[in-house]
Amino acid sequence: MARPIICNSMAEAVSDIPDGIQLLVPGFGPGTPHNLLTALFNTSVKDIHAVVNGVGFPSAATDGRKSLGDLIAQGRVRKVTAAFTAPTHPSQQSIAAEMIRTGKMEAELVPQGTLAERVRAGGAGIPAFYTPAGVGTLTATGKEHRDFNGRTYVMEEAIFADYAFIRAWKADTAGNLIFRLAARNFNPIFAMGAKHTIVEVENPIVPAGELPPDQIHTPGVVIEKLVQIPPDGFFRDVPRA
Amino acid sequence: MARPIICNSMAEAVSDIPDGIQLLVPGFGPGTPHNLLTALFNTSVKDIHAVVNGVGFPSAATDGRKSLGDLIAQGRVRKVTAAFTAPTHPSQQSIAAEMIRTGKMEAELVPQGTLAERVRAGGAGIPAFYTPAGVGTLTATGKEHRDFNGRTYVMEEAIFADYAFIRAWKADTAGNLIFRLAARNFNPIFAMGAKHTIVEVENPIVPAGELPPDQIHTPGVVIEKLVQIPPDGFFRDVPRA
Amino acid sequence: MTEAHTIAGKERMSRDFIAAVIARRFPKGWLVNLGVGMPTMVGGYVHPDQEIVFTSENGVIGYGGILSGNDVDPDVVNAGVQFVDLVPGAAIVHHADSFALIRRGMNHVTVLGCYEVAQDGSFANWRTSMGEWDNLGGIGGAMDLAACAQQVWVMMEHTTREGAPRLLEHCVLPVTAPSGVTMAFTDLGVFSVKNGRFTLEEYAPGWTPEEIAALTGAPLDISPTVSEVQFPR
Amino acid sequence: MTEAHTIAGKERMSRDFIAAVIARRFPKGWLVNLGVGMPTMVGGYVHPDQEIVFTSENGVIGYGGILSGNDVDPDVVNAGVQFVDLVPGAAIVHHADSFALIRRGMNHVTVLGCYEVAQDGSFANWRTSMGEWDNLGGIGGAMDLAACAQQVWVMMEHTTREGAPRLLEHCVLPVTAPSGVTMAFTDLGVFSVKNGRFTLEEYAPGWTPEEIAALTGAPLDISPTVSEVQFPR
């Protein structure tokens, strides 16, 4: 089998990422590639166009982990495409929202299902599709509308990114991935939606053949690099309660 | 959990199917719902629009099993949408092809990936999408073409059928399904692509909770009826060699 | 404070009360999506006999109540990223498949939080600014759900903190969907939204339909079978 | 029999020979789709060191040789519904995901059977009738693959049974794709297809480029490095 590269460190895994990339960042609470994001934060990469569910906040963690919010706060994110670009409640403040409001960062706000499907389409060689989500709202402004069977839909174009950071539960040396429960979320579709897909793995990477072919969530053929989360890495989100 | 109906027999599972339905028939060798097709053959249902990979032939089996080809041979299939409507080689003969040639059955020939994606789109609430497959060929005749990023694509509309017959390896009482290896093929997408999805199951149907949530290939919420393949049913395709 | 709001010296229904009122209305076996915020409380008030399946945008099909403490599984969260447990028969799908199911119309109902709802069934819940379109806001899955669920119910406060009505003739804030809301549950009552009209179906204990109408920013029909909300047992 | 075909008293390469010639050309680590018919034989001739991953339209990623006998697994088949085995690291996806990967351009090459190939890279392999469009034919996944694989190689007989050429200036049969073929492997040689021209790269043992050109229905360039096909060890 064609094999992905197995990197020795998070730093190595992100070492050749250039400025200006479009980057897919999965996660919905669990399933966020904290280790790769932290490694990227520790490079000088900038002008990133991040595709992510929510722009988030700078990390409040004291263990050194960084989030997309930290990259945003440093002005290294040129644009975000997200389902949450600002807190819904006016009482909450967000650096990202302030940067968008003042023109320091470009933003594209899209319905969450549209975001997921645009990346799925990109990874599936489909340049555009129609969805009913957002019709009659500001998010459909300027987009092409079309009726099918008496209902109005809006055309949405695919996203196929330069890079994807992925967080997997298990992986084999062929790059096959298994995710755990709700940590799956955007990971399988984002793994297919980029030219270069880099995966941080929670468990030891096992030899090809050890993961049952029927239980693979992401086939290894789309994976470029794997790196195991080291003992001092950021392993799991800590329960908040 | 909302539960699908568990039928006592294949005959019961197909007993309320009316004439004129659009029916999804998965299978690519393995994964074909032989038992449900045989039960349907033994009703009087007609005017079927079948969506299937290949129109096939009448069953050569001596054990009573019937295929879509038998329904076609009886003139009970009004239309087929398929990736194979005729043998490619002129030396082969097909009843279905002859019926299409003589206008006794309507046919729509589509690329296999387009067939799969049209049903996936139907089950995903997407009315249409663009694909490069078939551009510049007869199958794109009369279809809308459009350029994205300098490449020409053809627009394809979704298929959302009335019924789907599904063949699963394992199922639980919540309708969750697991398929085995290449018997998966069209089954998960066809299971989502119809209003009424009926499943024949190889293994005993287990109580909800016994199948691991991470290993489900089709979530039970789209399943209407389950029926276990009886001991005298058609269990597996016999190896041909 | 507007004059109308002074009526509100009376006690309004608590969020838990509203959650319970919503929960008891689910017919048996419904697939229910609960939005971020107040609606996630509804999950705690269904009866097992109702056989409700809760689904979440992140691909969790079949979850139970909100959990806390140290026994939570950090990989099992709902749409509000609150820890929940999986029920027997739960299944996990990825985000694109999750929204495939949502767009397909899987959900009998989505219960969403709401700033404003109008008599035409439009509602607003993702942006508090009326300014020029600047791509700022928090949509999440609300637009997909509002466009595709079989019904849309909103759970909300009847008035703003300043006493201004949130049930309106037309939404002032940018809408989440231009139509679709069939029921509104507020701290003052239960309202059906049909044929371009609000109808009061149930009123909060101690309140009169007239008092509620006075706090409503659109004409309010009174159902012939209107009654006081019963707190479900 | 045309006059040209009488040259064909000479022995042509067998299908197995052609399959081996194709197999040795795969660079290390390529993802290869093998079409129904002759191309499925190619899988038997790769060397383990090449680390080739064979993929099939039905969602099998990573299969090995064609099996027979009673030890086959009835649930493991390739695109020709022939029994195959899974290699370590294999993964199964459903049909829509399989074609998602195909359209995404996963396959470095697809090797397809072929009736006709033209110098512009178009080819025909799904319909032997030139008549009016009647929706009859057998496409399978060939159009998706031809449109989306990084390269398209065709494996075919150089002439029809009657001796007519199958390498042509323009396809006569309905095309599978209007362009895309980069290599043609026939029982007479190996041909590159580039810039609207066929170029003979290797010729069958015992044949001369001139004899092959005479059986070719389009101008045939001869590569400056042309040589006899070596049967790979």
CA A172 vs CA A26, A155, A205: distances in Å: 20, 38, 5
Neighbours of A16 (CB within 10 A): 9
Could you tell me what percent of chain C has a pLDDT over 70? 96
Q: How far apart are CA A82 and CA A71, in angstroms?
A: 15
Question: pLDDT tens-digit profile of B117-158?
Answer: 999 999 999 999 999 999 999 999 999 999 999 999 999 999
- Are the beta carbons of A176 and D53 separated by less than 8 Å? no
Alpha-carbon gap: B131 to the closest alpha carbon of chain A (Å): 6
Cβ separation C101–B222 shorter than 8 A = yes
Considering only CA atoms, which of A3, A48, A69, A1 is closest in space to residue A205?
A3
pLDDT in tens, C199-221: 999 999 999 999 999 999 999 99
- Residue B143 to residue B240: CA distance in whole angstroms: 40
Confidence of residue A238 (pLDDT cuts 50, 70, 90): low
- D11 has pLDDT over 70: yes
- For residue C113, is pLDDT > 60? yes
* Model confidence at C232: pLDDT above 80: no
C vs D contact (3+ beta-carbon pairs below 8 A) = no
pLDDT at res. A240 = 40
Mean pLDDT taken over chain D = 93
Q: Please report the residues numbered 129 through 148 in chain A whose beta carbons come closer than 8 angstroms to any beta carbon of chain D.
A: none
Looking at the structure of chain B, the number of domains it has is 1
Dist CA C43 CA C40 (whole Å): 6
| B234 part of a folded domain | no
Active site residues of C: 57
Question: How far is the alpha carbon of A173 from chain B, nearest alpha carbon, in Å?
Answer: 20
- Write down the pLDDT at residue C61: 97
- Name the residue type at position A199: V
Q: What is the mean pLDDT of residues B200-211?
A: 97
Give me the domain span that covers residue A121: 5-228
The percentage of residues in chain C with a pLDDT greater than 90, rounded to a whole number, is 87
Q: Which two tokens stand for residue B234?
A: 């058609």
Mean pLDDT across the stretch C55-60? Answer: 97
pLDDT of residue B240 exceeding 60, the answer is no
Each residue's pLDDT tens digit, A51-95: 999 998 898 888 899 999 999 999 999 999 999 999 877 677 889
Q: What is the identity of the amino acid at A73?
A: A
Q: Convert the pLDDT of each residue in C162-193 to its tens digit.
A: 999 999 999 999 999 999 999 999 999 999 99
Distance CA A227, CA A182 (A): 21
Within a domain: residue A115? yes
What angle (nearest 5°) sits at the alpha carbon of residue C96, between those of residues C26 and B180? 95
Instruction: Examine residue A233 and state whether it is found in any structural domain, yes or no.
Output: no
Cα D96 to Cα D109: distance, rounded to the nearest angstrom: 20
| Cα angle value B216/B166/B230 (rounded, 5°) | 100
CATH number at residue B183: 3.40.1080.10
Q: Report the alpha-carbon distance of residue D9 to residue A70 in Å, rounded.
A: 75
Q: Which of A177, A214, A216 to mutate to test the interface with B (most CBs of B within 10 A)?
A: A214
What superfamily would CATH give domain C6-228?
Glutaconate Coenzyme A-transferase (3.40.1080.10)
Per CB-CB distance under 8 Å, the chain C contacts of B123 are: 100, 104
Helix (H, G, I), strand (E, B) or coil at A31: coil
Does the structure show a pLDDT above 60 at C63?
yes
> Residues A38-55: what's their mean pLDDT?
98
pLDDT score recorded for residue B239? 44
Q: CA A11, A15, A16 angle in degrees (round to 5)?
A: 160
Rounded Cα distance, D52 and D23, in Å: 9
**DSSP for A33-95, written as a single string:** -HHHHHHHHTS---SEEEEESB-------SSS---HHHHHHTT-EEEEEESBSS-SSTT---H
Which token pair is C12?
């309004």
pLDDT of residue C1: 37
Which pLDDT does position D231 carry in this prediction?
Answer: 74
Q: How confident is the model at residue B74 (pLDDT cuts 50, 70, 90)?
A: very high
- B240 located within any domain: no
Please give the pLDDT value at position C65.
86
C-contacting residues of B 1-20, CB under 8 Å?
1-3
ipTM of the complex: 0.96
Nearest to B163 by CA among B78, B223, B110: B223
Q: C67 burial class (0-12, 13-18, 19+ CB within 10 angstroms)?
A: middle
Min Cα separation C229/chain B (Å): 27
pLDDT-derived band at C71 (thresholds 50, 70, 90) equals: confident
Distance, in angstroms, between D66 CA and closest chain B CA? 11
- Find out whether A110 and A83 touch, Cβ atoms under 8 Å: yes
Active site residue: D3, D11, D51, D57, which one?
A: D57
Neighbours of chain A (3+ CB pairs under 8 A): B, C, D
Active site residue D57: yes
Q: What is the pLDDT of residues D142-153, one digit of tens each?
A: 999 999 999 999
Over 80: is that where the pLDDT of D232 sits? no
Mean pLDDT of C152-158: 98
- Which residue stretches of chain D are H helix? 15-24, 95-103, 142-148, 209-214
Owner of token pair 């041979």: B73
DSSP string, chain B: ----EEESSHHHHTTTPPTT-EEEE--SSTT--HHHHHHHHTS---SEEEEESB-------SSS---HHHHHHTT-EEEEEESBSS-SSTT---HHHHHHHTTSSEEEE--HHHHHHHHHHHHTT--EEEE-TTTTSGGGTT--EEEETTEEEEEEE---EEEEEEEESEEBTT--EE--GGG-TTHHHHHHSEEEEEEEESSPPBPTTSS-GGG-SB-GGG--EEEEPPTTS--SPPP--
In C, minimum Cα distance to A56 occurs at: C138
Angle A96-A97-A101 from CA coordinates, rounded to 5°: 120
Which H/E stretch holds residue A117?
A: helix A112-123
C135·A54 Cβ contact <8 A: no
* Average pLDDT of the residues of chain A: 95
- State the Cα–Cα distance between residues A41 and A145, nearest whole angstrom: 40
Query: Alpha helices, DSSP H only, in chain C?
Result: 15-23, 95-103, 142-148, 209-214
- The string of pLDDT tens digits covering residues D187-200 is 999 999 999 999 99
**Angstrom distance (rounded) from CA B65 to CA B49:** 21
**Residue A241 pLDDT greater than 50, yes or no:** no
Question: How far apart (Å, rounded) are the C-alpha atoms in residues C24 and C156?
Answer: 17
Mean local confidence (pLDDT), B52-58: 93
Task: Pick the range with the lowest mean pLDDT from A5-9, C225-229, D36-40.
Answer: D36-40
pLDDT 10s digits, A148-177: 999 999 999 999 999 999 999 999 999 999
Task: State the Cα–Cα distance between residues D143 and C230, nearest whole angstrom.
Answer: 63
CB-based burial, A122-131: b 16+ in 10 Å, e otherwise: bbbbbbbbbb
The residue in chain D having the minimum alpha-carbon distance to the alpha carbon of residue B119 is D96
Q: Is D88 in contact with A174 (Cβ distance < 8 A)?
A: yes
